[in-house]
Structure 1
C-alpha cells in the first residue's frame, strides 16, 4: 500500500465527499466530516464501522495528508471538516493553530512522545524506520547501528530507497531537525556517491532486496510484514538501528479536531473510537503498525515500542521542514 505525502504548498483538486453511516445519523446535528490523509483502502472499513456502530452520518474526503493540511489552512474557519485524520504527524503539526485542544482523556491515552505537547492532536498508530536487509547476502552483525554507517564504501551499489515516498522525506526532515542541515547534506552527498538504487515506494524497495537487486533498503517496518503475508518465505528481515539515531525515526498517524467544528461530541467520539480496542487491533493486525493505547499488543516479532526510540524532537515539527527537505533532496540529485 502506498503511503505518500505531497508538497504542502500545493492544493490539488480533492475527491468528492463519500458518505457512510447508519440511517440514524440523518440529522445534521449527528453528522461528521472527516478529512482523511489515510488511504480509503487502508482505513475505509474502520470509518464505516464507526458510522454503523455510532449512528453518526459520516462524510469522508480522502487525499494526501499534506494537501489536506494545505486545504484546511486555506479554508480557515469556513472549513467543512470536523476532524483531520492524518497519515503523518508533520501534517498535523502544520495545522496545529486550526485545531482545538483535545480532552485530557484522549491525549493521555497515548504515550507523550506521540501527541502534541499542547494537546491539539493525538497519535493513533506508529511506524518505525528500519533497514530491511537480505538474509541470503548479509549477516545482521555486519550491518551498522547508525544510518550514517551506510555511507561506507562497502555499501556502494547495495542500498535502495524511495525519495518520492513521504516516509523517506519525513526521515530526512527528522535528520535535519536532529543533526542540522549541514550534516544532513553531507550524508545525502555521501549516499549519492555510493550509487544507491532508487525506487518509487517502499514496497518496491523491499521487493528489490528479495530479488537481489540491493542488499539493504531504508523503509518503514511494516512493509516487510505486508509482503510476508503473501510470501512467508521472503528472504528479508528488518534491522533496527540504535535508539536516538535519525534512522530510527518513529512517526505516527493521528487525529485532530478543528476548532471551527460544530460537531464536537461526534468528533471526540470518533477520536475515542480510533483509540479503542477495535481500531487499535486493526492497526496492529491488518496494517502491521504499532498500536498506541494500553491493552493491545503489536504483532509477534516486533520489538516493544518502548525500546524503539527515534530522535527527541516533537513530531509536529516535521511539517515545517517539508519544503526545505524537498529542495535539499532535489539539490542532492534525488528526484521527488
Structure 2
C-alpha cells in the first residue's frame, strides 16, 4: 500500500471522511474551504507555506514568532500528519508547500523515502542527537514525547514497567487505550521495527483478547484512569503534565510509569520538520528550521506543551524526568513510516 493510499485508508479507518485530493491535484482551491495555503507572492520570497500536522491551538503562537524570525508571512495548512504526507506525495513537484511540520517521525520518513525532502545542513542536524533525526539528513526532530503507562495509584500498587505485562490475565478489562490515535499507532509501528511483524501481531492479538477499554483520545484515557474507570492507560507523557498544571498534581489519582529501557512502550517519538525539495523559498524555510531549534522555540515546547526540547543545550521542563533517563529504544525513527502495514495489522486485530 502506498503512502498516497495510506491517507485514504487512515481517513476511512479513523474518521470515515475522504481526503480532499481532488482540490489539491486540480491546482485551484478556495483556501477558506480546504485550508490550502496560497503563496502571497509569485516567487515565494514574501511567504512561507507550512503544512502542519501539529494543531493550530498548540503552535499558532509559535508560528507568529516564526514570522518575526524569518521576516516572511507564514501561511499554514493544518491537518493530520499522515494525511498531509499523503497529500504532499500526491502533489509532488506541484506542491505550494515549503516546510512540513509533522506530529510524528513516520510521516517525515515517508516523504524522505520518496525523495520529497531536501537534505538539511549538517549544522542544523548537529543541534539534535542522531537518535532524533533522519539518518539521511532530510528531517530533524524539534520536540519529543515519551510513551508511558498511566495508572490509578489508589488501585495499583505495582505499576507495569513493560507493555508485555498488559496481556497478563490480572489486567483483563482494566487497561484503557485509544487505538485510532496516531501516537498509539506509532508505538505499534515502533514495536514492529523492534520485534518484527509476527511478534507484534501476537502482542496485538493477546492485548485485544485481554478486553482493553477503547476510548477515542489520550486525554480521555487519562481521565478514565484518574477517575478509576480504568486502572491503567496508554498515553503520551505530556497529557499528565498538562493535567497536573491545570488542576494540581496533588489532585490527580493518576500517576505515570515510564517503561524500562528498550521496551517498545518506552518509545520517544518526535515532532519534526523537513524542507520540501524544489521549494523556491529554501533560504526562508531554513531560517524556519533554525528558529524551531532556537532557545526561544525550544523553551516554548518545554514550558507550554510540556514536551522534551531536543536541541543541544536547552534545558527541559524541570518537572519531567530527564530525557536521557528514559530508556527509549534506539531505532531509526524514519522507519515509523510503515504506518500502512500497522493500520492493516490493527484492522486484522479488530482494533480500528
TM-score of the two chains, using structure 2 as the length reference:
0.88
Counterpart in the other structure of 1:265: 283
Indicate conservation of the 8 Å contact 1:131/1:240, yes or no.
Answer: yes
Counterpart in the other structure of 2:126: 108
Mapping 1:36-185, distance limit 5 Å: 36-96=52-112, 97-139=115-157, 142-185=158-201
| Displacement of 1:312 | 2.5
Report the Cα distance in structure 1 between the residues aligned to 2:327 and 2:140, rounded to whole angstroms: 18
Indicate conservation of the 8 Å contact 1:205/1:219, yes or no.
Answer: yes
Report the Cα distance in structure 2 between the residues aligned to 1:54 and 1:29, rounded to whole angstroms: 11
Structure 1's 168 and 311: CA in aligned 2 closer, same or farther, altered over 3 A?
A: same
Indicate conservation of the 8 Å contact 1:19/1:57, yes or no.
Answer: no
Counterpart in the other structure of 1:186: 202
Q: Does 1:302 align with 2:309?
A: no
Structure 1's 325 and 28: CA in aligned 2 closer, same or farther, altered over 3 A?
A: closer
Structure 1's 144 and 215: CA in aligned 2 closer, same or farther, altered over 3 A?
A: same
Report the Cα distance in structure 2 between the residues aligned to 1:309 and 1:274, rounded to whole angstroms: 25
Gaps of 5+ in 1: 1-5
Counterpart in the other structure of 2:349: 332
Q: List per-residue Cα deviations over 1:73-125 (Å, max 9, x = no partner).
A: 11111211111111110000000011111011111100100001111100000
The SS at the match of 2:138 is coil
Counterpart in the other structure of 1:284: 302
| Displacement of 1:223 | 0.5
Counterpart in the other structure of 1:323: 340
Report the Cα distance in structure 2 between the residues aligned to 1:258 and 1:49, rounded to whole angstroms: 21
Q: 1:9 is matched with which residue: 7, 10, 27?
A: 7
Report the Cα distance in structure 1 between the residues aligned to 2:344 and 2:6, rounded to whole angstroms: 13
Report the Cα distance in structure 1 between the residues aligned to 2:194 and 2:83, rounded to whole angstroms: 25
Structure 1's 82 and 19: CA in aligned 2 closer, same or farther, altered over 3 A?
A: closer
Identify the range of structure 1 (282-291 vs 179-188) with the bigger mean alpha-carbon deviation. Answer: 179-188
| Displacement of 1:129 | 0.5
Q: List per-residue Cα deviations over 1:152-205 (Å, max 9, x = no partner).
A: 111111111000100001111111111111111211121122111110010000
What is the aligned residue count?
A: 323
The SS at the match of 2:7 is coil
The SS at the match of 1:302 is coil
Root-mean-square deviation (CA, aligned residues, Å) is: 1.9
Indicate conservation of the 8 Å contact 1:7/1:66, yes or no.
Answer: no
Report the Cα distance in structure 2 between the residues aligned to 1:70 and 1:53, rounded to whole angstroms: 29
The SS at the match of 1:171 is helix
Indicate conservation of the 8 Å contact 1:19/1:58, yes or no.
Answer: no
Report the Cα distance in structure 1 between the residues aligned to 2:5 and 2:232, rounded to whole angstroms: 28
Counterpart in the other structure of 1:3: none
Gaps of 5+ in 2: 9-17, 21-33
